[in-house]
Chain A
């Protein structure tokens, strides 16, 4: 269970997150929507220790992880899957995946996760010797998700997986997130391009100019006017 209280984040002068409060119970799928550049990615990055200047508290299973540093946070079972992928360009698919299992925690379950990833992403197995920089955008995105799964995380913070991809990949991403959730893993997702995802979401949040507001479970949320406007332009 992830518990965030009064989290503030800054990039230089700009105040990117303002007193964010949030709760992500174990095993749920939680989606954050909102306009671009309003702090959705910053929230995911702050949870994973990737933002230098943060105040407030992020607690994971009751333990304060706010200033632990990414390496330790990853080892505690939280991983960030970046919107712009952040792969190792001159390494093969296989080595990228191998590095995904860098932490001690992941090493212990590397075999099992490798099999799972191979099952979910058969294409990556075919291309295991290809350099990641020579892959198409969609394939690279799949590799980034696969690398995240190799970390053996319990909480996956996935940042706009469908952004910039052709529609056919959206079905794949939807299927993969379903599979991840089925394994009992918790998913914190920033994504508003895949309508089916809202059907499986347990909770919805809106991020607006660095402020996060809770919109309840999907039934309440989908009748919310602000949410309707963002999602469907109504």
Chain B
């Protein structure tokens, strides 16, 4: 019993760490541009296929190290261009936030069906970081889990460092807190919008690379992840990075324990119940500001 609980706790921790990566990217874009990116889940799936292409199809040397190192510039460019080409032109119109949502919803459908026609409708799998395990008597931890946890935490710390210490990171935070103020001090708003979108795309892609090792790559799998990331974002407080972080771990744990105790079919119900109750009591979410 005791080992089982530890086991469940660890899987909650792993899920939480990857969810936090996903949700923080989503909330970052909302916080800065006040627009919601519905294609976020599809970028997650793209992360899975990116790893599959490099590892399985082409067998690049260096394995996951190569994947992760190349994923950062790849997803930055993809995100930056998507924003510049698809989203930026919409900002000329009055209610562009709404238009952005419609457009990204369309983009996500387009991407999902493109995945299906390019990679086929069947799920694909990518190898684990490692097959090794730790054993302490009855108690087992996969090295893979430790690696996933470590990489997500490193990404989060990296993001935090970028936001608090670099010129571009501070400009992103400034734009989120006061777009007019940011303009006044000479921050180029359009560039920051694109850069934020690009950073969030990196996070989504990383999430895909990490989690598809456990969950397989499903061309239509983006919407599941999108819903999860959205629930976390709303639960934690739209636009609050710290809120998303807490919410991701709370939901990761909730999922793990509800799945273990009541069965997997209750996981989604429990998650959404928690969201509804939270929003009923505190409409701005855990740490939302408005």
Contacts and interface: CB of A to CB of B under 8 A. Distances in A.
Contacts of A151: 185-186
Interface string A79-118: 1101000111111000100111011001000000000000
Contacts of A69: 188
B227 interface: no
B180 A86 contact: yes
Interface in B229-257: none
A44 B135 CA distance: 69
Contact of B170 (A71, A73, A86, A99): A99
A50 interface: yes
Contacts of B184: 48, 50, 70, 74, 79-80, 82, 86
B167 interface: yes
Nearest to A80: B184
Contacts of A87: 178, 181
A75 B185 CA distance: 9
B174 interface: yes
Interface residues of B, number: 17
B187 A88 contact: no
Nearest to A75: B186
A88 B181 contact: yes
Interface in B181-209: 181-189
A86 B186 contact: no
A101 to B, nearest CB: 8
B178 A99 contact: no
Interface string B153-183: 0000000000000010011011001101111
Contact of A88 (B167, B178, B183, B188): B178
Given A50-B183, A70-B183, A102-B167, A91 B188 contact: no
Given A50-B183, A95-B170, A71 B177 contact: no
Q: Which of A50, A71, A90, A100: most chain B CB closer than 10 A?
A: A71
A144 to B, nearest CB: 9
A86 B178 contact: yes
Contact of B177 (A89, A100, A102): A89
Contact of B178 (A48, A74, A89, A95): A89
Contacts of B174: 88, 91, 99
Nearest to B167: A102
Contacts of A79: 184
B243 to A, nearest CB: 13
A74 to B, nearest CB: 3
Contacts of A50: 180, 183-184
A73 B188 CA distance: 11
B178 A102 contact: no
8 contacts: A50-B183, A86-B180, A86-B181, A88-B178, A89-B177, A99-B185, A151-B185, A151-B186
Interface of A: 48, 50, 69-71, 73-75, 79-80, 82, 86-91, 95, 98-100, 102-103, 106, 147, 151
State the 7 A-B residue pairs at the shortest beta-carbon distance, nearest first: A74-B186, A86-B181, A103-B186, A71-B188, A88-B177, A102-B185, A71-B186
Given A74-B184, A99-B185, 11 more contacts: A48-B184, A50-B183, A50-B184, A70-B183, A70-B184, A71-B186, A71-B187, A71-B188, A86-B178, A99-B171, A102-B171
